[in-house]
């Protein structure tokens, strides 16, 4: 068994298939996430089983896919109930959400010394995270009727548009299927309405490729619900990243809309005419 993370698995899967792809000693791969758009094909191609989990440095790994269960694309598994309690709650009231309703994932342990005791030198952050005897992860997700958990997005990366909560991940997966898109990130930028967002998609193209925003939007209008289709598209040479290679969405949000950002509304494109 080995471990990986979603973007690395996508890079591996994007390589040209070889006849001996499944000729390897691996039987399991632990991953967070196991990208749902390639999960089944990845298992079949490489002759292994993916075990998706959810966790973070502060709490360890409270949820994981049971070894004896078949693939369930998009799910990060069930609670390791001998060790943890996990709930999905309303981020404003801490009241538990019903199955299928998106909220904040909160955790507490059943055994001593399982969770972090606090953020070093940051008592304010510790108090903010520990409320009502639960650690508030800052991740949004939901749990179904059978106890399977699903990660949706980081709360701070959530896009709220016209009273709809949007997963940036679903937009990014759809956009990466468009020819010429190498990588991308979706963020919310302020709309003309108070407390509301429009979607900005920042992307890097495959070397030598040229992506026309109009064609990309026409493609996404058929691949996504209309409330998720980006209003803005910007093409960059690189996406800003942390030292651990994570995309810095905060930088993309702060940059906002610039004179170089393509605007679907300004271009006069009406989504209902594209579907």
Q: Kindly state whether residues 145 and 33 are assigned to the same domain.
A: yes
Q: Kindly state whether residues 150 and 162 are assigned to the same domain.
A: no
CATH of the domain at 232: 3.30.300.30
- Per cent of the chain over pLDDT 90 is 75
The encoded tokens of residue 270 equal 């009406």
Residue 91: is it exposed, middle or buried by C-beta count within 10 angstroms (0-12/13-18/19+)? middle
Domain boundary among 132, 156, 180: 156
Q: Kindly state whether residues 205 and 261 are assigned to the same domain.
A: yes
pLDDT beyond 90 at 135: yes
Q: Kindly state whether residues 99 and 221 are assigned to the same domain.
A: no
Mean pLDDT throughout 188-200? 86
Q: Kindly state whether residues 14 and 120 are assigned to the same domain.
A: yes
Average pLDDT, the chain: 92
3-state helix, strand, coil in the chain (%, to 5): 20, 30, 45
Buried/exposed 142-179: b ≥16 CB within 10 Å, e otherwise = bbeeeebbbbbbeeebbbebeeeebbbbbbbbbbbebe
The encoded tokens of residue 50 equal 């993916």
Place of tokens 């005791």: 117
Residue 199: is it exposed, middle or buried by C-beta count within 10 angstroms (0-12/13-18/19+)? buried
pLDDT digits (tens, 9 = 90+) for 45-68: 999 999 999 999 999 999 999 988
Report how far apart, in Å, the C-alpha atoms of 234 and of each of 184, 204, 211, 212, 214 are.
Answer: 10, 9, 10, 11, 12
pLDDT beyond 70 at 232: yes
What's this model's pTM, rounded to 2 decimal places?
Answer: 0.74
The full length of the chain comes to 275
pLDDT digits (tens, 9 = 90+) for 242-275: 887 889 999 999 999 999 999 999 999 988 887 6
Q: Kindly state whether residues 192 and 142 are assigned to the same domain.
A: no
Edge-to-edge strand list for the sheet holding 262-263: 181-190, 197-205, 232-235, 262-263
pLDDT digits (tens, 9 = 90+) for 75-87: 999 999 999 999 9
- Per cent of the chain over pLDDT 70 is 100
What's the first-to-final CA gap in the chain, in angstroms? Answer: 44
Q: Kindly state whether residues 149 and 173 are assigned to the same domain.
A: no
Q: How far apart are CA 206 and CA 208, in angstroms?
A: 6
Q: How many domains does the chain have?
A: 2
């Amino acid at each position: 068994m080995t471990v990986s993370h979603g973007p690395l698995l996508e890079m591996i899967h994007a390589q040209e298939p070889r006849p001996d792809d499944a000729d390897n000693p691996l039987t399991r791969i632990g991953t967070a996430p196991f990208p749902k758009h390639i999960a089944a094909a990845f298992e079949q191609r490489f002759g292994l089983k993916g075990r998706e989990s959810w966790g973070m440095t502060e709490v360890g790994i409270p949820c994981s896919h049971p070894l004896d269960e078949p693939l369930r694309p998009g799910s990060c598994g069930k609670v390791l109930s001998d060790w943890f309690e996990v709930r999905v709650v309303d981020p404003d009231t801490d009241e538990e959400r019903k199955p299928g309703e998106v909220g904040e994932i909160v955790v507490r342990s059943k055994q001593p010394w399982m969770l972090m005791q606090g953020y070093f030198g940051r008592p304010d952050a510790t108090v903010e995270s520990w409320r009502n005897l639960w650690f508030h992860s800052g991740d949004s997700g939901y749990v179904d009727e059978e106890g399977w958990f699903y990660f949706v997005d980081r709360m701070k990366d959530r896009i709220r548009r016209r009273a709809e909560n949007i997963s940036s991940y679903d937009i990014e997966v759809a956009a990466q299927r468009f020819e010429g898109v190498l990588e991308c990130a979706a963020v919310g930028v302020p709309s003309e309405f108070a407390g509301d967002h429009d979607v900005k998609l920042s992307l890097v193209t495959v070397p030598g490729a040229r992506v026309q925003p109009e064609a990309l939007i026409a493609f996404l209008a058929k691949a996504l619900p209309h409330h998720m289709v980006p209003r803005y598209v910007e093409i960059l040479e690189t996406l800003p990243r942390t030292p651990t290679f994570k995309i810095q969405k905060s930088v993309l949000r702060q940059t906002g809309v610039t004179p170089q950002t393509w605007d679907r509304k300004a271009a006069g494109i009406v989504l209902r005419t594209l579907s």
